[in-house]
Structure 1
Amino acid sequence: MAWEEELFALLDDLEQQAEAAFDAERDADLADRSRAAYREVTLASRLMASVGTEVRFDVAGVGAVVGVLERVGTGWCLVAGPAQDWVVCLPAVAAVHGAASRSVPEVAWSPVARLGVGSALRRLADAGERCVLHLTDGTAYDAVPRRVGADFVEATVGEGRSLLAALAALAAVQSR
């Protein structure tokens, strides 16, 4: 019986070695898959998971924008600050502090969240609300948005002068 016990012990040992090798290979495979899947995560999807959280954005031409992240859309987000609200254009964002560690993939977003920054600007134009248009180069215009085109916003500045601001150059819109 001793030789049978030795044989079974040897087979158990081989089985444990095979299991350990399989686990090591599987762990490496899972790490590769995780890394590959994370390539698909966008800034907007990370922000979508952060809605309701206090965050700080470093925005080109503006500086720090701090507040509670209220809404995220395609290419923009709404931040409720202590004194005013901000519509922040995501291409102008250099860094985000305080975002959630998870993400919400775009396929899980509501149809409203898929609207672009033009939709947010149209709401401001419809309300006739005075705001500050901040451009990525640091220029700021005290304005009232009037109409929004495909790639620009038309606003009234000063004493009735018309301004066309390219959406690509828009960093943020600050409520008054």
Structure 2
Amino acid sequence: MTAAGAAGSAPAERDGTWNWQARHETPTQRLDRNWSTLIQETRVVQTGVQLLTGFLLTLPFQSRFEELLSTPMRWLYLATVAASIAATVFLVAPVSAHRILFRRHRLERAVTAAHRFAIAGLALLGLALTGVAVLIFDVVAGLPAGTAAGSAFALLFVVVWVVHPWQQRRGTGPSDTES
């Protein structure tokens, strides 16, 4: 494909062309690499989110749980637990999808779905961690500290997990170049 043809083609096509020129991978090899990378990334966060969920699930059974949390903080706790459980579901979902789709020649669908599940799981993990920060700071230092901590951590997650990658994405890369 010529540079002029690449410039006018869809981003996925340009990315495929770049991928062949730079890596000499077939589309199937690329899917295998994308799948392996995605699974490795989710392994990094799965353990943490599962530990967080387990920790949160034990809290109501502590003797002072009810007296330490006001009614609004109990609702926040429930929302935080729900976000943590949902994050676990989304981050583990690619494994289930892969098992069900195994040897069905649906790797492209599995990679696309797993990508979406990972993004949803990370967003829910960010919400859960923000909720945990609010709860802990509220119990230890009061509602103003909890609100400040929750706001600061929410901002941190947005900047580090969303804004920074989007800025990197806007830079030069396979879908931005003609080679």
TM-score range, shorter chain: under 0.3
TM-score (norm 2): 0.25
Judging by fraction of residues, say which structure has more strand.
1
Which entry has the higher C-alpha Rg, 1 or 2? 1
The higher relative CO (CA closer than 8 Å, separation ≥ 6) is in 2
TM-score (norm 1): 0.25
